[in-house]
Amino acid sequence: MGKEVLMPKLGLTMTKGKIVQWKKKEGDRVQEGEDLVIIETEKITTAVKAVASGILLKIYAKEGEEVPVGQIIAYIGEIGEKPPSLSTKPTLVSEQQQGQSTRIEEAKAISEVRASPRARRLAKEKGIDLVKIKGTGPGGMITEDDVIRELENIEKGVKFTATGLRVKEVIPMTAIRQEISRRMVQSLQTMAQVTLNIEINANSLVKIKNEVESKYSMKITYTDVLVKVVAKLIRSHPFLNATLEGDQIKIIEDVNIGIAVALDQGLIVPVIRNADIKPITEIVKESHELADKARENKLNPDEVTGGTFTISNLGMYDIDSFTPIINPPQTAILGVGRIRKAPVVIGDNISIGYVMWLSLTFDHRVLDGHTAAKFLKELTEILEDENRLRAFLS
């Protein structure tokens, strides 16, 4: 008896997945547990494994196709077995197209050309005869999009922007890029975000980071150090480790620090859980493993969910300071700039030392400026004090 391969549900919010690459083709023999197909969700790219051993009799979803969770994408059986048929239903697109056709027919009955001002302006610029265009707007009105389509019909293979500019290349947004776009817009539209910036003396941070590196004979990043320090410090600043649900501020018990990792296809935030109680060596090991898995598209849903506070470090790109955007439903995020040499004032003396900018963005609905400022001030004091920093990392 054959088995259906379904689009898996890899997280609470997942509703669909995109087929990226089939590792096998129809007719190939597969073994249970081996990688069958690569899929992309809103958060991760991962492999779906074969649910049984046998022959890959049927592939129902092509590469590049988006499939709802729970829908069959392949069938594994034996030679001579007939795979099930996949019924299709009329889609909303066809209904929309039907509505557009109706509007176009109505427009034909209107002798005077009806077009929006933007459509008329673009048509005039490009020398397009509006009489030859069928409008798809209300009552058959010719829209700017209609003029763009006519331009593309005239110049075969050439794409245009909404303002009539020639397009060199069209790059569809990946599922990850779409999710980043959605979440960033959601973040800015639903939160009262404020950012505080401070320049710190990073001499102690550089010294202690190198000291810890030598002590444990392992490569340590400044982000690793900050994860540990922030996680321990946030225990005494609970409103930065909270979420707002309705009219309730919920302080979260665990301290789970997300680390923003930049990929070619977008940004992903793997999470180090209970970072406040983990030794620095374990944080280093875990953060490096998560970063490698992120770059290899091998993260699982549990590794990118459940964060309570995020750190985003752009120092490796020589960025001094920036305004990080909160990762919903969290209430704060710490942006970290590069460490560079600069004149440093210590008492009444000036010397060459290391400086670094920190940027804390917080949700003003949940906490006030002085609460966020106290956290940032104490974080600065710890990072600038060798003894306190060494104690936080011990």
Which residues are the active-site residues? Answer: 364, 368
Q: Which two tokens stand for residue 276?
A: 């406040």
Q: For residue 47, which of 239, 324, 293 has the smallest C-alpha distance?
A: 293
Beta strands in 32-105 (DSSP E): 35-40, 45-49, 54-59, 66-68, 72-77
* 55 touches 35 (CB < 8 A): no
- Exposed/middle/buried for residue 269 (C-beta within 10 Å: 0-12, 13-18, 19+): buried
278: its two tokens: 């983990």
3-state SS, residue 58: strand
How many CA atoms lie less than 13 Å away from 335 in the CB half-sphere? 23
Residue 364 in tokens: 């003003």
16 vs 51: CA distance, rounded Å? 19
- Asked if 274 and 253 touch (Cβ cutoff 8 Å), the reply is no
332-346 and 309-313 beta bridge pairing = parallel
Cβ 2 vs Cβ 32: under 8 Å: no
d(CA 211, CA 217): 10
CA angle (99, 101, 107) in 5-degree steps = 105
232 vs 287: CA distance, rounded Å: 17
Q: Please, what is the angle between helix 203-216 and helix 222-233, to 10°?
A: 100
Q: Which secondary-structure segment (H or E) carries 193?
A: strand 193-201
CA distance 296 to 369: 39
For helices 386-393 and 222-233, angle between their N-to-C axes, nearest 10 degrees: 80
